[in-house]
Amino acid sequence: MAKGKHVIKLGLVEGRHEMPVSSYVFNEISADITDIATLNNLAYDNIMNIGGWDANDTELWIGSTFAAEGYAPHECILHLYVFELTYVVIAVLNACRALWLDVILYHYDRDTDSYYPQQVL
């Protein structure tokens, strides 16, 4: 992670699995999963309008209100907690790429009941 990046922790989809976050990119997946363009657009819109919390429990916002907080997406890194749903993960990664928002995925390990990181390059 680059020095000075602000960390935002989000889960992928609310209610699917226990995650150490308070905010999610999606509350639910109601789009047709075969309609990838719509899913990509939803992911982008949701990321642009969602708040998250940094490592110091400071609320941060992405999108139009982000500038008011003093941070642009390229000044932040998203810690995204995921559990399956590959097509949704890819939609979120596509949105983050369009926003120049760095991402570290946190995958669930059933054996240790914990999450481990994977940096997205």
Block residue for tokens 């490592």: 55
Q: Does residue 18 register a pLDDT over 90?
A: no
Which pLDDT score is estimated for 8? Answer: 81
What are the two backbone dihedrals, phi and then psi, of residue 53, each rounded to the nearest 5 degrees?
-125, 135
pLDDT digits 0-9 by tens, 43-93: 888 887 765 544 455 555 555 444 445 566 677 788 999 987 888 899 999
Q: Return the domain boundaries, the chain.
A: 6-119
Strands (E), the chain: 6-13, 24-26, 51-53, 59-61, 76-82, 102-109, 114-119
pTM: 0.79
116 vs 106: CA distance, rounded Å: 5
pLDDT digits 0-9 by tens, 86-98: 888 999 999 989 8
Which pLDDT score is estimated for 105? Answer: 96
Q: Does residue 116 register a pLDDT over 80?
A: yes
Tokens found for residue 6: 């602000």
* CA neighbor of 13 nearest in space, from 53, 61, 40, 46: 46
Strand-pair partners of 41: none
Pairing of strands 76-82, 102-109: parallel
In this prediction, residue 21 has a pLDDT band, given cuts at 50, 70 and 90, of confident
